[in-house]
Amino acid sequence: MPEKPAAIQSFGNAGGPTGSPERRRPEPEALELTIVYEDDSLLVVNKPPGMVVHPTYRNSSGTLLNGLLWHVRERDGMVPSIITRLDKNTSGLVLVALSPEVHARVQRDASAGLVKKEYLALVRGTPTPRSGSISLPLARSPEDRRLVVVTLAGQACETRYEVLSPPCEPDLVSCGPDLVRSGYSLVRCELVTGRTHQIRVHFAAVGHPIVGDPTYGEAHATLARQALHAWRLTLRHPVSGEPLQVEAPVPADFQRLEDVLLD
């Protein structure tokens, strides 16, 4: 069953036997949003690192959804619902439907493989082969539900990738093992499936953790977050049927780290 759109999920008492506090309905807040595409059906936001996408018990305000509710506050009957979510410390494009009908159409297209989500990541070392896919099943860690682990009992997951930099030397048939084991690489990733922390866990599992990710790799002095950016979205417009592609340049902190590691 498809997940309910984020803005119209139940916000009643979800405490049950544990007696958790009642979850408040998110309120509109006048937050600065960088909107890179918008029409009457969809909008796409370039989310900065450090912003939580959806309110939680620990982050009840200042989230992307709070800002979206403010953005559409004068449009009668418009209900923003977040389709593609990002971790707090991942930057980049977030796709938002402006009605439940549009949300459902985009989800159907996503299930049919018609929504393409591409990311840029800085990883330790150079993956080999330089283009391919990582297919490892993922599930929540039984020891810590905040974490995701590779396990045969998990859900099937696939991440396609291509190394963009450093380039292979043109006089070599293939990049040698010294290049593969050393330094850092800029990698383009495409989510075939979209599980929590998928790119971060997949690259860590194959020995190339994302730079600055203390959860699945290690922190970095130059960047206070993981070097992961939702770069490009490609989809069929849910109303017109026309192709739609949106890109967001990497933010300044990502670019600075790329300049340090790859120059």
Active site residues: 87
Would you say the C-alpha torsion 105, 1, 13, 89 has a positive or negative sign?
negative
The rounded distance, in Å, linking the Cα atoms of 41 and 30 is: 21
Instruction: Pick the closest to residue 192 from 248, 243, 136 (CA basis).
Output: 136
Burial of 148 (0-12, 13-18, 19+ CB in 10 A): buried
Q: Are 161 and 128 in contact (CB under 8 A)?
A: no
CA-to-CA separations, 104 to 7, 98, 123, 228, in angstroms, rounded: 13, 11, 34, 27
Q: Which residues contact 50 (CB under 8 A, 6 or more apart)?
A: 88, 89, 225
Residue 173 C-alpha from the chain's centroid: 34
